[in-house]
Chain A
């Protein structure tokens, strides 16, 4: 059953991933400016030089050939002796199918290498934020539900609205201003505001944690806001169910009712919500990464997009697309695991 489910999902993912690569590739090609800005602008290059450079980069090939070369199909065709089909193709290299993301147009480094070097940073940040969000939002939601209408409940509601309404960059800047700059001014221990470690001296666990606090807090605030509301309403709904009334009627303690019968059932929707955030583990948290100069995937993608580093952006988008598909699969499996009513089909 599970195997069949996985197989079906894997097959369904193929057109999604292919579609993403094709659309991204075409978008990149139709973006403003020439495919390699600056190339034709160098006043000292003759048209012949430019032609040669374009040829070296493979930009003189028909666009479908460039695409097939990039995804690695051209390489396979060449191997099986079908290269003749690709009119105008030259210099075919291994592509995505062979595990090669190509090289950056800005600095010539391997795209795959850059991605995998940044990935741990992004996962560390997003995973911390998700954990923080889950750990805080459940108690907040439960308390809100149990004391519905109280001042505490109103305060939590206020926090939630704030969490959704406050832009992350603003919150980040405010936290930097208070916990970094002002704390420093006041002579208090302050939190570092950029990067993952202190240059030169830093790098131990404590230093890394200190760098993680502010960005993870900002990122988790948004999760906290949404998830605590879901927990609250889901808890309210569960607590009004017949089986909860039955439990109370048979004299079970309020504590057991809340946590054994209430909470266990109330968190099921939360699992879906958290599962939906799983793809974000790798696609990164652009705004937070940018504000805190966190060397993750999101920041890399953003900077390289501004730099017109086409190959890098293509690589990151494709990579993220594959992982999003995987993330969705994982969250489906998780959902089935926590809720016996859900069956994989």
Chain B
């Protein structure tokens, strides 16, 4: 229902990568974001550019025990089993119920969870040794041990559990060699190859999976019975901060404090996830106190400021809106236009990105300056930038030999500068955006037709048939800067995201180097090079970095939501309390 740009909600997780265009996406209202895989290696680098209200105000000195919070989302849950989660709202609840070995903070840094520390990778880059906290119990009082951990991963990669159809099985089979319990407190994970995004993908539940299941409960099921088990929606035994109470389909999911949680009891007694009409309606519900927490639409953000009872939290979220030129002459004759890098640069220069952010996103976005969002730890601002300059853009096209005809439209060698720009139908922001882009390009002599297309069709065009001319879409990033899916020459077609058909051997080898380098500071250098090259080549220019907009009732304290802790990972959750204790 929510007519909003929802890229942030769509694919904050590996899931997305996995199932790049999940069906839930549409359920959430618009669809329209793709997912890129990402990851993050060890290390604790901080990123100053992060927003959110994390850190500074976290104090539990005056914290009250008891009470409840109501969080509003426009979508009901689908599946809470870490093996099957496929949307961020399910993920948000699931990781209140199931702890993972690690978690992620607002800087996309790994933090310990069930494991006492973030493990260092072995010298060959292939194995990780986790030490588990002692005395961790399941909600039924059974101890949580390394056996549970090994069992959970075996469900994903071991052949005898193939019938369980874990969503992450293709990845798990590809990357996991073995997961073994050395002793009740020690787990050793061996990987098949050096893969820097491993921990974030498999151990945090943020940009992938990682929730640990109770072996003594699930081993009693046949693998084939797992996908349809009722425990997928209402788990009986969990390990996390909360335990499930009830699910009223279509209206609410209620969880309550887990007194057996190894980190101690949460301050709040209950957390209700209420299904609301839309992100626009969330603003009204926040005002009347019918919900305490919720994402709100750009269009009502300013209005929400009038409310005395609601705090607003805005931050750049890990996502961007961008457009792809089709560079492949075998798919479209328009490649003759886009193949000229001067044309791509001129088009990008003709875009007033600041104005777009202000008008189309109601000011709740920032102009893009690279090929990944500014909250990625690997983000750099390449020297090559394209500030808005119509005269310069016109001159670039003149110099490149594109002459204006009597109708004001440029052409060169019989090829007219006109094409069709598509985006996914139903996404109000993007439908506006393509009109604005067409309008701005008209001013430099390009005749651009706009066409909203159903999302599945658009995705097929982008990732399979590639019979488009230009597509505008959004990407929600994972907590890893890997861009293999977007720019590697092997990612053209077959469902991968390099729909523009960009081929650059230097980028190919840098992308490989990126996922094979575990050390974060060395990796950052690799991605800096990648960003420099891609900003010069501009196969898929980014337009904006949209913001995540949250309304939080003033009675809710320490809800430290930020770029990377909107959904699954909420390492600050144990400190959340309500000041009125209700």
Contact = CB atoms under 8 A, between A and B. Distances in A.
B252 A195 contact: yes
Contacts of A56: 165
Contacts, number: 154
A107 B252 CA distance: 16
B290 A192 contact: yes
A193 interface: yes
Interface string A77-109: 000000000000000000000000001011111
B198 interface: no
Contact of A295 (B84, B249, B459, B460): B249
Interface in B1-57: 1, 17-24, 26-27, 29
Contacts of A295: 248-251, 275
A34 B496 contact: no
A259 B83 CA distance: 67
Contact of A292 (B174, B277, B287, B485): B277
Interface in B72-89: 75, 77-79, 84
B274 interface: yes
B250 A299 contact: yes
B440 interface: no
B29 A195 contact: no
Nearest to A196: B251
Nearest to A109: B233
B463 interface: yes
A44 interface: yes
Interface stretch (A8-16, A134-142, A179-187, A337-345): A179-187
A43 B270 contact: no
Contacts of B249: 114, 117-118, 295
A306 interface: yes
Contact of A108 (B21, B227, B276): B227
A167 to B, nearest CB: 15
A199 B274 contact: yes
Interface in B151-207: 165, 170-171, 174
For chain B, what secondary structure do more than half of its interface residues adopt (helix, strand, loop), or is it mixed? mixed
A299 B459 CA distance: 26
Nearest to A183: B288
A176 interface: yes
Given A33-B457, A40-B464, A45-B170, A307 B24 contact: yes
Interface residues of B, number: 60
Interface in A125-171: none
A110 B277 CA distance: 24
Nearest to A50: B495
A309 interface: yes
Contacts of A181: 284, 287-288
B309 to A, nearest CB: 9
A233 interface: no
B495 A41 contact: yes
A290 interface: yes
Contacts of A261: none
Nearest to A41: B495
Nearest to B463: A41
A184 B289 contact: yes
Contacts of B284: 176-177, 180-181, 193
B78 to A, nearest CB: 4
B5 to A, nearest CB: 16
A49 interface: yes
A164 B170 CA distance: 55
B367 to A, nearest CB: 29
B455 interface: yes
B494 interface: yes
Contacts of B24: 106, 307
Contacts of B227: 108
Q: Which of B272, B281, B496 has the most CB of A within 10 A?
A: B281
A261 B557 CA distance: 67
A263 to B, nearest CB: 40
Interface string B424-460: 0000000000000000000000000000001111011
Given A106-B23, A200-B254, 11 more contacts: A32-B457, A33-B460, A42-B18, A43-B491, A45-B170, A109-B233, A117-B250, A200-B70, A293-B251, A293-B276, A293-B277
Interface of B: 1, 17-24, 26-27, 29, 68, 70, 75, 77-79, 84, 165, 170-171, 174, 227-228, 232-233, 248-252, 254, 270, 272, 274-277, 281, 284-285, 287-290, 454-457, 459-460, 463-464, 485, 491, 494-497
4 interchain residue pairs of minimum CB distance:
A33-B456, A295-B250, A307-B27, A107-B78
15 contacts: A33-B459, A33-B460, A36-B23, A38-B19, A41-B20, A42-B495, A43-B495, A107-B79, A180-B284, A184-B289, A185-B287, A192-B288, A194-B276, A295-B249, A299-B250
Interface of A: 32-34, 36-38, 40-46, 49, 56, 103, 105-109, 114, 117-118, 121, 176-177, 180-181, 184-185, 190, 192-200, 290-293, 295-296, 299-300, 303-304, 306-309
